[in-house]
Structure 1
Amino acid sequence: MDQGKRNVLGVEVSAVDYDSAVDKVMSAAREGRPLAVTALAVHGVMTGVQDKAHGARLNSFDLVTPDGQPVRWALNLLHRARLADRVYGPDLTLKVLEACATEGLPVYFYGSTQDTLDRLTGKLHDRFPGLKIAGAEPSKFRAARPGEPEEIAARIKASGARVVMVGLGCPRQEIFVYAMKPLVAAPMLAVGAAFDYHAGALKNPPPWMQRNGLEWLWRLGLEPKRLWRRYILLNPNYLARLGAQKARLWRAAPPPPATEPLTTFAV
């Protein structure tokens, strides 16, 4: 199922299921063409609402999947999308990696720390013996210096990677993918905490919490000091804006897709 993009609080979110999302990524990977992909939960949508320039960047992405249940619910409520499930970043990551392993397409991992990448790649080799890992490069946790984006792109190209997974956290990873898309002829997926989950550093909540949109409560319990502002302040704001958009009290006009190159961003 692929119903195209739909306006959720001014952010254009793709009304897709897992099969359609994987097909889009793999088609771009086979053809060697760029594709900007991200999976947005409430926090990701709200970053685009509160920062119009970032909202324009998000609206330039080729595929924006409903990572969180509340985003899926919004698509169903506002646009009658009838989506039966979200397209969760960590699960989408595994499905794309499985397809890459089956087709022999090499994958590059960018982001997180060297320790996490070492554990991640080890576990992925165990899970997908046929997976070709072209490279794994940790984040520098600083702004890119002049010429560095081109150097990163050259390393990715030289590796032979056909898919790039980016785990820098929201919104750094979306900014990175937006900035790097003109330089990398491959799909780039901003997959959030997928690196930590699949490396074993984070545990997924129970299925019942995931089905009922309570993953935020699980994450808040694990990291209250870091995440309380994100969930306690943003979630009510999201619901209020969603109600206003549904009642047509707020137009929620999407900003046009960004086209300007970014010269300063974090790597």
Structure 2
Amino acid sequence: MNRPPLNRGKFPILGVNIDAVDYSYAVEQIITHARNKKPYAVSALAVHGVMTGFLDRIHQRRLNGLDLVVPDGQPVRWGLRLVYGIKLPDRVYGPELTLRVAEASAANSIPIYLYGSKMDTIEKFERVLQQKYPGIQIVGKEPSKFRKLTHEEKEAVVQRIKQSGAQVVFVGLGCPRQEVWAYEYRQSLSMPLLAVGAAFDFHAGILPQAPGWMQKRGLEWVFRLIQEPRRLWRRYLFLNPLYSLYLLAQAMHIRTLPAVMPNYQEKEESYG
């Protein structure tokens, strides 16, 4: 027996509003907005994504301006339980959500646009989607320019996506660039914009995913750190303990911890 979609509302985790929802609700809302051609910016946030908002108040406002922010990481899901007593059946993992939306889009004849990453990765991802979901409509694709776009270039991107006939955009720019992109383009594109991050690389076979047992236990970060230690060590070894500390403080209603605004910044700053 199918359960009705679960939506318990928005709840702030370290100042970032997280939607306590399941896969069914997320897919249903994305497909509904695609059919109705309504703006709908979506992101799946793990600890790193939450911490980008915690450490940067401007970015926090962007994240809280998105329509749907699902708990991608198990520690974010556990945070909802620790602070608010909300027990979700599972996290809403971005790469899995991507496949479910692709499947629903194929079933409902909803065209998809792929934006971000490198062209080789996009083409491999496209082939995987076509093999998994016969009849899926990928009506456009373009790679990231790996830099900030000019106003004219942004307008050209909007026009290309509109002219393609797409009703959903999968955005694979990495966190936090993809959330910035979804926030900035939301009003210009009347369709769901899904910030899906590493889904492009995972499903294209560029990066391996952590084993299921590691994912269930919130140890995916360990697997990724082993895969890319030079790029990710500061992200995980600094941000994960900080997340745990401030989450515990939030759960205990401790407000005396000093505001933390360290000079933490990854080198990937391009948004287009």
Q: Which runs of 4+ in 1 moved over 3 A?
A: none
User: Quick one: which amino acid aligns to residue 45 of structure 2?
Assistant: L
1:56 equivalent in structure 2: 61
2:90 is paired with a residue whose SS is: coil
Query: Which range moved further: 144-153 or 91-100?
Result: 144-153
Query: C-alpha offsets along residues 26-51 of structure 1, whole Å, 9 cap, x if unaligned?
Result: 11000001001000000000000000
Answering whether residue 142 of structure 2 is matched by residue 137 of structure 1, we say yes
1:151 equivalent in structure 2: 156
1:227 equivalent in structure 2: 232
1:210 equivalent in structure 2: 215
Q: Distance in 2 between matches of 1:250 and 1:171?
A: 27
1:245 equivalent in structure 2: 250
Q: Distance in 2 between matches of 1:165 and 1:243?
A: 34
2:78 equivalent in structure 1: 73
Answering whether residue 35 of structure 2 is matched by residue 25 of structure 1, we say no
User: Quick one: which amino acid aligns to residue 141 of structure 2?
Assistant: A
2:140 is paired with a residue whose SS is: strand
**TM-score of the two chains, using structure 1 as the length reference:** 0.94
2:205 equivalent in structure 1: 200
Contact 1:245 1:251 in 2 (8 A): no
Contact 1:125 1:131 in 2 (8 A): yes
**TM-score of the two chains, using structure 2 as the length reference:** 0.92
Query: C-alpha offsets along residues 106-133 of structure 1, whole Å, 9 cap, x if unaligned?
Result: 0000000011011111111111111000
Aligned pairs for 1:1-20 (under 5 A) are 1-20=6-25
Structure 1 unmatched ranges of 5 or more: 253-263
Answering whether residue 100 of structure 2 is matched by residue 95 of structure 1, we say yes
1:60 is paired with a residue whose SS is: coil
Q: Distance in 2 between matches of 1:173 and 1:233?
A: 22
Q: Distance in 2 between matches of 1:55 and 1:146?
A: 23
Q: Distance in 2 between matches of 1:172 and 1:82?
A: 30
Contact 1:143 1:265 in 2 (8 A): yes
Tell me: CA distance 1:217–1:265, structure 2 relative to 1, closer, same or farther (3 Å). Answer: closer
2:70 is paired with a residue whose SS is: strand
Question: 166, 171, 175: which is aligned to 2:171?
Answer: 166
Q: Distance in 1 between matches of 2:147 and 2:210?
A: 31
Q: Point out which structure has higher relative CO (alpha carbons under 8 A, 6+ apart).
A: 1
1:86 equivalent in structure 2: 91
2:3 equivalent in structure 1: none
User: Quick one: which amino acid aligns to residue 250 of structure 1?
Assistant: R
